[in-house]
Amino acid sequence: MPTERSHYGIGVSPGVAIGVAHLFRQEMGTLPQRPIKAEQVEAEYARFREALGLSREQIVSVRERVGREIGEEQAKIFDFQIHIINDSHLAAEVKEALGRRLLNVEVVFTEAIERYIQLLSDIDDELFRERRTDIRDVRDRILTNLAQRRPRTMGELPFASVIVAHDIAPSDAAMMERGKVLAFATDMGGRTSHTAIMASSMGIPAVVGLHDMSVKIQDGEQLIVDGNRGIVVVNPVEETVQRYNREIFRIKAFEEELVEIREQPAVTTDGHRVVLSANIEVPEEIASARANGAEGIGLYRTEFLYMSRDELPTEEEQFEAYKAILEGLKPDPVIIRTFDLGGDKFVSHLDIPFELNPFLGWRAIRFCLERVDIFKTQLRAILRASVHGNLKLMYPMISSVDEVVSANAILDEAKEELLREGVPFSERFEIGAMIEVPSAAVTADIIAGEVDFFSIGTNDLIQYTLAVERTNDRIAHLYKPCHPGVLRLIKMTIDAAHANDIWVGMCGEMAADPSIAMVLVGMGIDELSTSAIAVPKIKKVIRSISYAEAVDFARELLKYHRADRIQEMASERLRSILPALYEQQG
C-alpha cells in the first residue's frame, strides 16, 4: 500500500489539480563523437546550417500556434529562441571550431552553446538563469534535427494527466493538448521562467523547483498539485483528496468572484481609491497584466535589455523596446525604471569591477551618474518613446537628494540634445524616486521636493534595514516585512510624500501579500504594484475593507513591537474578511 508523501517547491501558477502522473522526458541519447577530415568541414557545417533552418521553421510554427491560441504577447517568448538560432556569432563559432578541432558538428555545437548556458548560470539573477531552459530547448531541437529524429511532444498524451518532468521547455508546453494537461510539476524552474509564464497564461496549476522529485515519481501514481502553496502530494489518502476537493470547489467559487471584479476599480467599501498596477520584466507579461485587471505598469525593469549580449543596446534598440511597452499599455501609465545594473546583475561589457559587497557597491544610480554616456543613451531612448504612451520615469536605489538632482540634470541635457536635433519628446511626464535605502526613507521629506512620486521597493528596503540577505538560508528567517523598523520607514515615506503633495506607491513583494496590503492601504499608500497574477487578489482585499477600518487597524499595528505578532494579527484579519483567500495563501 503506497504511503502519502509531500514534495515542496515554488508555486508559480495558482490552483489545485488532482490526477495521475505522466513522466515527460526528452531522450536525447548519447552525443555522437567522431573525427572528421579537413575536407569534410564544409559538408559538416552545411549539415549544421540545414538543422538550424529546420529548427527555425519549427519554432516559428510554434510561435504562430501560440499567437493564435494563447496570445501574441506569449508568442513573443519564442522570439528569444529565434534570436539564438539567428545569432551569427554562434554560427561563426561553430564553423571555426569545426576547422580547428576536426570533430563532428554535434560535438562542437554542443560545446559552443554550453558556454552560453554557463554564462547565464554565472549571473546571480533568477530571470536570466531561467533563460537557460530556453537555450537548452534550442540545443536539444538542433541536435534532434541533426540526428534526423522526430521530437516527442506533450501532444501525444494518452489521457488527462499531471505532467512531471525534470524541466519543461516553453515549446513543449506550447505544443501540448491543453485539455489533457491538468498541471505541471518540475524539478527545475523559478517564478520568472517562460514555462511558468506559459502555465499561468493558460491557467494550469504549476509547482516548480521540486529538486529531484521527477526521479521519485512513477508513471500512474496519483498526485495533487497545489499551485497556491507550492506543494505536490503523492499517493494522497482519501481524507487528503476530500480536503482538496473541497478546496477546489472553494477556489472555483472564489475565482468566479475575482473574474467579476476584474474590470472594476480598487475601491474600498467607503469609496477610497487605490491604484493597482503590475510589475513586468519582459514585454511578454503585458497580456497577463491586462488580463488580470492591472491599471498600468508600476515597475518595468529595463535590465533585460543589457544582459545576454556582447555589447550595449543601441539607443534605437532601446527606443523600440520602450515604445512597444508604452504603446501596448496606452493610455494606462508605465513606470520605466532606469537600469539597475551592478550588484547581483553583473554585465561583463560594462566593465564593473569585482566587489566584495556588490549590494552596497557601484550599482544602479551610482553607476549611472559616473557612466553618463550609457545613462544618457537610455534617457534619450526613454524620452523619444515618451510620445507613444503614458510615461513615468523612475530612478533606482536613491540614497540622497543629491543623486536625484544629478540625475535630473543629465535628463535635462538629454532633452536639450533632442531639442537641438528636432526629435520630439513629451515634456509632461512624472519623475519618481525608488525608496529602497533607509537613508532615502528617512530623508523622504527632502527628496520629495525634487520628484513627482515615490515608489517603495520593499525587497531591498527590508534587506538594508534589517541587514539580512534574504537569499541566505541561514538568516532568511530574520527577513521580516512586518518588522516595526520597516513599517515605520514605510509610514515615514508615505507621510513625507503626502505632506509634499506627491503620491507614493509600492512595487516590492510586500505589496502582493493580501494580509499586508490592507495594512498598507490603512497607512495611506496610493498605489500597489505586484506580479500580474496577484492583482485580482489584492483588488478583492481592497474592495472588501473600509478605509476607515484599515486606517484604525494600521494605527493599532504600528503600536506593536514584535514582527511576528504584527504578521499574525494581519493574517487573522485577512481570515476574518476573506477566509477563502486566507486558505489560498497557505
Catalytic residues, by residue number, are 194, 507
Residue 14: cis peptide before it, omega within 30 degrees of 0: no
**Beta strands at 503-506 and 453-456: parallel, antiparallel or unpaired:** parallel
The two most distant CA atoms of the chain are separated, in Å, by 82
- Classified as helix, coil or strand, 320 is helix
SS3 of residue 488 by DSSP: helix
- Compute CA distances 419 → 95, 317, 416, whole Å: 47, 20, 5
Q: List the beta strands (DSSP E) in 384-480.
A: 390-395, 430-435, 453-456
- 381-412 burial, b at 16+ Cβ within 10 Å, e below that, comes to bbbbbbebbbbbbbbbbbbebebbebbeeebe
Per-residue burial over 227-262, b if 16 or more Cβ lie within 10 Å, else e, is: bbbbbbbbbbeeeeeeebeebeeebeebbeebeebe
Structural element, H or E, at residue 54: helix 41-69
**Contact between residue 63 and residue 82 where contact means Cβ atoms under 8 Å apart:** yes
Residue 474 CA to its chain's centroid (Å)? 25
Answer yes or no: are the C-beta atoms of 280 and 289 closer than 8 Å.
yes
Of 578, 535, 493, residue with least CA distance to 275 = 535
DSSP summary character for residue 24: -
Backbone angles phi, psi at 11, to 5 degrees: -75, 115
The phi-psi region of residue 79 (left if phi > 0; otherwise alpha if psi is between -120 and 50; otherwise beta) is alpha
- What does the radius of gyration of the chain's CA atoms come to, in whole angstroms? 25
Among the listed residues 479, 471, 398, the one whose alpha carbon sits nearest the alpha carbon of residue 436: 398
Cell of 123: 549571473
- Half-sphere exposure (Cβ direction) of 130: Cα atoms closer than 13 Å: 20
Q: Count the Cβ atoms, other than its own, within 10 Å of residue 494.
A: 24
What is the helix (H) or strand (E) element at residue 298, kind and residue range?
Answer: strand 297-301
Residue 318 to residue 314: CA distance in whole angstroms: 6
Structural contact between residues 188 and 167, judged by C-beta atoms closer than 8 angstroms: yes
φ and ψ at residue 363, rounded to 5 degrees? -145, 170
Q: Which amino acid, one-letter code, is at 199?
A: A
The answer to whether 539 touches 581, Cβ cutoff 8 Å, is no
Strand spans (E) along 106-254: 161-165, 181-186, 206-208, 222-226, 231-234
Which whole-number Å values give the CA distances from 536 to 32, 200, 370, 454, in the listed order? 51, 14, 41, 23
